[in-house]
Structure 1
Amino acid sequence: MTAPFPPSRPSPTTLIGGHVLVAGGLATGGLKYAADIEAEVVQVFVTNPRGWALTDGKPSEDTALRESPLPVFIHTPYLVNVGSPNAEVLEKSLGSIRHALRRGVEVGALGVVVHTGSSVTQSREDALRQIHDHLLPVLDEIPDDGPDLLLEPMAGQANMLCATVQDLGPYLETLEFHPRANVCLDTCHAFAAGHDLAAPGGVKAMMDALHAIAPGRLKLLHANDSKDPCGSGRDRHENIGAGLIGAAAFGELLGHPAAAGIPLCIETPGKVEGHRNDILLLKRLRDELA
């Protein structure tokens, strides 16, 4: 039985920021972009998000990012899939995760986000067994001062291993509820997977279920509206309040006790102006809870 929620609402200091563009350097460009969009927390790629090449950082940039007052999260490349039956994809996926975790230590990241993946052509059972056998050792390698691995459920396309909050139960069980296996929840993914966040009580139902299944494991929220309807299985982000989830749902999310103190990062379309507007809207919703 999980612990009851505390009666208090989240602190208005819950941090709100976004995935930042790093043209000109991981820290030089990334921190400038963060300032331009008024971010209080940042998420970055430390390598090409659409490729397998692994690159080292520059010590001066790493130090600047590590010493920044902004909390940092890393997102692994989109190609990563530890559930793939393809031996080469599996090997490269594990290499990418290990690389991101190592870079996380170097830049002082709090977490490394990884998509929970797909079984592709093999059975779900075989894919989960593979994840147990190959990802569990990676979790054991994380140093005490290293970032957590944050499992991000997907939008519910065919053969996805984890899409709804309920899917996190067997996924975490596969990883033996390892203490370094935690959760990043994406609102667009959740909506596409069937959590109707736009409906009355929809946000509460999802967050209550998450608290029951994985209490204390939520470490990051991706705040994204959706271009497509609930249950579509389509991962197409929209700006906050401009999509089918709607701004009110994000206010409910910020007001839910399970989200108290959990950083929110946007991954919405556009550049500086649009991203700043999304962050300012979320901050206004946050401040209304104070």
Structure 2
Amino acid sequence: MTVTTLIGGHALVAGGLATGGLRYAAEIEAEIIQVFVTNPRGWALAEGKPSEDAALRESGVPVFVHTPYLVNMGSPSADTLEKSILTIRHNLRRGVEVGALGVVVHTGSAVSQSRDDALRQLHEQLLPLLEEIPDDGPDLLLEPMAGQGQMLCATVQDLGPYLEALEHHPKANVCLDTCHAYAAGHDLAAPGGVAAMLEALHEVAPGRLKLIHANDSKDVCGSKKDRHENIGAGHIGTEAFAELMRHPVAAGVPLCIETPGKADKHRDDILLLKKLRDG
């Protein structure tokens, strides 16, 4: 049986989480949406409006939440760690309220402490948050980064010790960003590159891939630079995305673009991915 891959994008929510988000989804022809439920570049934790939450829950559009960029569960700073815990807990609660399937969090950086110390910190501080998620609540989706600095996860193999620190909790799953993976050294543009990356992911995290951020890359493979490009306009190219959707490890996993530009560009990227899916 063929499983359809739903394709969408990060939705702008001006005018309300549901009102603006669903309007933007319709404008870009998105089948799924990802939203911020609070300021993505700050620590302030915004509360939602029950009417907007209900409208989003009842819309039938699958929703994912992305946590703010400042979150870093690997940080040696007690202040950053405390704020990260509060922010993830808040986003998970808001994820329940809007009916989200998953809450995306960057896997973070050890900064100035050792990787082992950062992983112990994850075990002590992030594992209890996973335990708080209700059975019917959203998964926490771990998003590896491009490999800059002391990032805890860049290649998909890095997810092995990360998930081990979280005792392979059933609510700890994966969001794969194609630009990040390419920047970290997975050559998705090379023949067999997508398959090699997905098979490596399946080795360390079988069945845990729940969302893909579909982004081309402005920079070359292994650059460790997180600069997204529109689909087919970067170094990854369109064929890699077609191969991604055909591979059994990614079968049926939703794709969400986070590409440059405004609605017209986002619609073009989504329509191109749909053409690759349906062609």
The TM tier, using the shorter chain, reads over 0.9
1:116-163 deviation per Cα after TM superposition (whole angstroms, max 9, x unaligned): 000000011100100110000000000112100000000000100000
RMSD between aligned residues: 0.7
Aligned to 2:198: 207
Aligned length: 279
Aligned to 1:28: 19
Between the aligned partners of 1:256 and 1:143, the Cα distance in structure 2 is 31
Aligned to 2:85: 94
Q: TM-score, normalised by structure 2?
A: 0.99
Between the aligned partners of 2:273 and 2:182, the Cα distance in structure 1 is 18
Matched, 1:283 2:265: no
1:78-116 deviation per Cα after TM superposition (whole angstroms, max 9, x unaligned): 000000000000000011100000000100000000000
Which amino acid letter does the alignment assign opposite residue 154 of structure 1? M
Between the aligned partners of 2:190 and 2:139, the Cα distance in structure 1 is 32
Aligned to 1:172: 163
Equivalence map 1:1-290=2 (5 Å): 10-11=2-3, 13-288=4-279
SS class of match (1:27): helix
Between the aligned partners of 1:195 and 1:68, the Cα distance in structure 2 is 37
Identity in percent:
79
Unaligned 5+ runs, structure 2: none
1:224-245 deviation per Cα after TM superposition (whole angstroms, max 9, x unaligned): 0000110000000000000000
SS class of match (1:184): strand
Between the aligned partners of 1:144 and 1:257, the Cα distance in structure 2 is 26
1:63-83 deviation per Cα after TM superposition (whole angstroms, max 9, x unaligned): 000001110000000000000
Aligned to 1:4: none
1:138-196 deviation per Cα after TM superposition (whole angstroms, max 9, x unaligned): 00000112100000000000100000000010100010000000000000000000000
Q: How far 1:14 moved relative to its partner? A: 1.1
Which amino acid letter does the alignment assign opposite residue 201 of structure 1? G
Q: How far 1:26 moved relative to its partner? A: 0.6
Q: TM-score, normalised by structure 1?
A: 0.95
Between the aligned partners of 1:128 and 1:215, the Cα distance in structure 2 is 21
Q: How far 1:258 moved relative to its partner? A: 0.7
SS class of match (2:256): strand
Between the aligned partners of 1:144 and 1:255, the Cα distance in structure 2 is 30
Which of 1 and 2 has higher RCO (CA within 8 Å, sep 6+)? Answer: 1
Between the aligned partners of 1:122 and 1:38, the Cα distance in structure 2 is 44
Between the aligned partners of 1:109 and 1:67, the Cα distance in structure 2 is 11
Runs of 4+ in 1 over 6 A off after TM superposition: none
Aligned to 1:5: none
